[in-house]
């Protein structure tokens, strides 16, 4: 007689285990792939499975971070960009020419990478697309592991949620509400610079670009200002539905006759 033991339980996903923000990105990191991953809100450049550069329309680029506060002359960046195939190559050319200190460039590069990477890894309604590139990049600027970028992105999401859980102020134009009888709370000089640029038209991203600051750090200021009641997102207007005139009663004798005939046939 053969005794059949209890079958082992089916494997289940550990709900406590962290989930990858982008399964495709995780797979590309495991493959040590080289190429460009295009997502709805940004682009990640990979070299041998590591992130070497990130871009997003929602985050100021490396050029803005370098030129706004005098680290680099805007004309120097423009000349380097014209002679290069992209912002990363332009930065490396400036480094080779001795126009940028290596430490300042590396710091701005990592700031821009994590900033744009935060938006590139935002929830997306469309699938990502990856274009392989068989030529690995070996530049002097540092790269980051995919797990490090995802970990930092999750940390930033949690930080924003703790400051103010409603994300509406992240993307909408901002206004300064003026409720009567509510005393204004003091703001820091950094927050004052953000507040001075709130005009009902600019978004947090616009303000970040105007100030030459990282977009995420500006979101932190905006959420704190929102929580304190200093700013609020513009509520989109819902177009009013047109009021249609009431339908006049049917007076056409032919239509009335047809209705009586229909009722008579249904009664048969």
pTM, whole model, 2 decimals? Answer: 0.79
Helix (H) or strand (E) holding 223: helix 215-227
Pairing, β 129-132 against β 174-175: unpaired
Domains and CATH numbers, the chain: 23-162 (no CATH), 164-179+186-233 (1.10.10)
- Residue 174 tokens read as 């901002």
Mean per-residue pLDDT over the chain, rounded: 85
- Residue 218 tokens read as 């500006």
217-235 tens-digit pLDDT: 999 999 999 999 999 999 8
Is the pLDDT score of 257 beyond 50? yes
The CA distances from residue 197 to 65, 211, 241, in Å, are 18, 9, 34
113-147 tens-digit pLDDT: 999 999 999 998 899 999 998 765 657 889 999 99
CB 200 within 8 A of CB 260: no
CB 130 within 8 A of CB 117: no
Task: Indicate the pLDDT class of residue 40, thresholds 50, 70 and 90.
Answer: very high
Q: Which of 50-64, 81-95, 131-145 is predicted least confidently?
A: 131-145
CB 201 within 8 A of CB 173: yes
């Amino acid at each position: 007689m053969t005794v059949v033991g209890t079958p082992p339980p089916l494997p289940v996903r550990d709900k406590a285990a962290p989930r990858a923000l982008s399964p495709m990105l995780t797979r590309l990191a495991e493959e040590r792939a080289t190429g460009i991953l295009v997502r709805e809100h940004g682009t990640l450049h990979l070299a041998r499975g590591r992130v070497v550069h990130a871009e997003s329309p929602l985050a100021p680029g490396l050029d803005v971070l370098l030129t706004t506060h005098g680290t680099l002359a805007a004309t120097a960046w423009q000349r380097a960009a014209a002679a290069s195939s992209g912002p990363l190559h332009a930065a490396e050319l400036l480094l080779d020419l001795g126009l940028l200190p290596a430490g300042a460039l590396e710091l701005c590069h990592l700031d821009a990478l994590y900033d744009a990477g935060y938006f590139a890894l935002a929830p997306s309604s469309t699938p990502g697309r990856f274009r392989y590139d068989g030529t690995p990049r070996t530049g002097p600027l540092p790269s980051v592991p995919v797990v490090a970028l995802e970990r930092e992105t999750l940390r930033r999401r949690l930080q924003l949620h703790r400051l103010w859980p409603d994300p509406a102020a992240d993307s909408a134009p901002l206004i300064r509400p003026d409720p009567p009888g509510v005393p204004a709370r003091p703001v820091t000089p950094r927050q004052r610079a953000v507040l001075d640029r709130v005009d009902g038209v600019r978004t947090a991203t616009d303000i970040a670009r105007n100030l030459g600051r990282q977009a995420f750090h500006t979101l932190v200021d905006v959420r704190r200002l929102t929580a304190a009641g200093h700013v609020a997102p513009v509520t989109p207007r819902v177009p009013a539905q047109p009021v249609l005139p009431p339908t006049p009663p049917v007076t056409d004798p032919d239509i009335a006759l047809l209705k009586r005939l229909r009722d008579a046939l249904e009664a048969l």
